[in-house]
Structure 1
Amino acid sequence: MTDLTTLLYSDEHEWIALDDAGTTATIGITDFAAEKLGDVVFVELPEVGTEIAANTVIGEIESTKSVAELYAPVHGTIIEINDAVVDDPSLVNAEPFESGWLMKVSVAAGATEGLLDRAAYVAITEA
């Protein structure tokens, strides 16, 4: 189980886990976002090799309730897509912090500056 206090968060409800070197970020949507969306039925993600810029729309998540845009929480280059989530979008609801991750991004030093810690993220979801 992922320790949620070690993750960083965007105010658009994405979570970010950096590898030990701080050069690869695994990105997903939070449990709060997954719950608000309802049953996820479709996930559209950018292709490997795509350059992404923080705070820009990079994909889409469709549920039985609505369609939501997926925002890039960091600048970087997509190096891996979680094909399991594309094939079985319900993983986003079942395990948002484990098998429901969305993509891995190669990031530069300082790319996560301005992101929230768990306490700050929880505070905005409770507001």
Structure 2
Amino acid sequence: MTDTSALSYTDDHEWLKIEGSSVTVGITDYAAEQLGDVVFVELPEVGDDVEAGTVVGEIESTKSVGELFAPVTGTVTAVNDAVVDDPALVNSSPFDDGWMLTIEAPELPEGLLDADAYAKLVSE
């Protein structure tokens, strides 16, 4: 199980696991809860170049449609086909089996939140 206190977060309710220049991205349990039961996930292709702040995927639930934003600029190096095949993983395991994609990012953006700052954001 992922130690969520070691992750970084965005105010778009995404989590980032940063390992050198490799950034694995998913949505938080808070975002998954707000969406409701996820029924469809669309992700970019491996090899796609993405720009921080742009839409790179879609997450549909029984309640709404959400967008997945690239939190960093770089090249997609992995996508989680399991979450495309079984979108419920986003709800059942958002920090582990429900990860979305990995981006090779030469630099990290400013303004990432730590676990405490993110917890404060969602409690407001």
Q: TM-score, normalised by structure 1?
A: 0.94
List runs of 5+ in structure 2 lacking aligned partners. Answer: none
Alpha-carbon shift at residue 113 of structure 1 (Å): 2.8
What is the letter of the counterpart of residue 17 of structure 1? K
What is the letter of the counterpart of residue 7 of structure 2? L
C-alpha distance in 1 between matches for 2:68 and 2:21: 21
Question: Hey, what does 1:3 align to over in structure 2?
Answer: 3
Structure 2 counterparts to residues 1-127 of structure 1, below 5 A: 1-19=1-19, 22-108=20-106, 110-127=107-124
Alpha-carbon shift at residue 112 of structure 1 (Å): 3.9
List runs of 5+ in structure 1 lacking aligned partners. Answer: none
Aligned pair count reads 124
C-alpha distance in 2 between matches for 1:120 and 1:31: 15
Find runs of 4+ consecutive structure 1 residues off by over 6 angstroms: none
C-alpha distance in 2 between matches for 1:121 and 1:54: 19
Report the aligned-residue RMSD.
Answer: 0.9
